[in-house]
Amino acid sequence: MIDIEALDLRTLQKEAAKVLASYLEPTNNGLAEINKKCNHDSTIFYKEVIKLYVEKFGDLPSKVGPGKDVSLVSDKY
């Protein structure tokens, strides 16, 4: 199992971005349940988004599933 708590903030941001770009519907309706858990804490948001992805695909989006094919601008620099 992936230890999401051990990931640094930048990794959380990048992995969550891949989830949002490839798997979750990034709309108010698609993110409503996650937002309810976060209480305006972006770190919790990143972790919750990644947890959903890992439950579905078994690993981080940079390694498996549709997130693996997402290329972030920050990856190029």
Domain map (residue ranges) of the chain: 4-70
How much is the pTM?
0.88
Q: Tell me, what's the pLDDT at 37?
A: 85
Burial degree of 76 (CB within 10 A; 0-12, 13-18, 19+): exposed
Determine what percent of the chain falls in helix, strand and coil, rounding each to the nearest 5.
Answer: 70, 0, 30
Q: What is the pLDDT of residues 13-48, one digit of tens each?
A: 999 999 999 988 777 777 888 888 888 899 999 999
DSSP state of 76: G
Segment holding 12, helix H or strand E = helix 9-22
Q: How many residues does the chain have?
A: 77
